[in-house]
Amino acid sequence: MIRTPTLHSLRRSRFLFLLVAVVLLLLVSPILEDSPLHRAYLIVLFALVALSAVRIASNRRSHRIVALALGVPWLVLSLSALVWPGSIPEVGAYILFVALNTYALGIVLGAVVGAEEVDFDILLGAASAYLLLAIIWTASYQVIHQLDPEAYSLVHGEARPYFHQFLYFSLVTLTTLGYGDITPLSPFAQIWSTLEAVVGTLYIALLVARLVGMYQSQRSRLRKPG
């Protein structure tokens, strides 16, 4: 059975900080406008997600090195993009953000799938990984739009999309809701968006099956006498 989490277990959780950082990004980004100050706030939210990724990777020295090698250049390019928005530094920052969070996602999924039993921390990791998928695809949509401004039809026909618009599009695509108010137009954008829906569906199917199998095995061990 899954034990009720205590304050001590929450403090020791590997994934709680990541989940909180991702949820903050989801909730706060819609109220940030396209101004230098609000873009700086968005960088802070990105940094919280990146720091939580580094924290997850801190169990092994090689993980820390890779995470820092991606995180430090990302921060430099992100700060440069405040001065030159819509420029090469901004594209580079989003690419590094995708790489860093993809690396963190691999570590999270490795911990979740490789766990011997289901506990509250593993459930936090599973939820964090699902939301990380949406964040990763959001940043990739920003890169695609920067390279091809005609790749998507945007809400209200805005020339420069807010981050939360692609975040919204990423979430409705990942969950296969597909409202249709933001539409991929270029062939690559269409395929890439469809791939997110496929990954989201497979994630739910495969990971839930894995967690249920782990939980049933855990219960079977507990029922064995002696």
Query: Residue ranges of the domains in the chain?
Result: 13-220
Question: Strands (DSSP E) along the chain, which ranges?
Answer: 152-153, 183-184
> pTM to 2 decimals?
0.86
Rounded mean pLDDT of the chain? 83
Residue 221's alpha-carbon distances to 60, 73, 174, 208, in angstroms, are 30, 47, 35, 20
Give percent of the chain with pLDDT exceeding 90. 32
pLDDT at 161: 66
pLDDT tens, residue by residue, 95-141: 999 999 999 899 888 888 887 777 788 888 889 999 999 999 999 99
Q: How far is it, in rounded angstroms, from Cα 20 to Cα 49?
A: 9
What is each CA distance from 177 to 127, 134, 197, 204, in whole angstroms?
18, 13, 9, 15
Structure tokens at 34: 């396209």
pLDDT of residue 1: 45
Express each pLDDT in 62-94 by its tens digit: 888 888 899 899 999 988 888 777 678 889 999
Place of tokens 């990791």: 125
Task: Let me know how long the chain is.
Answer: 226
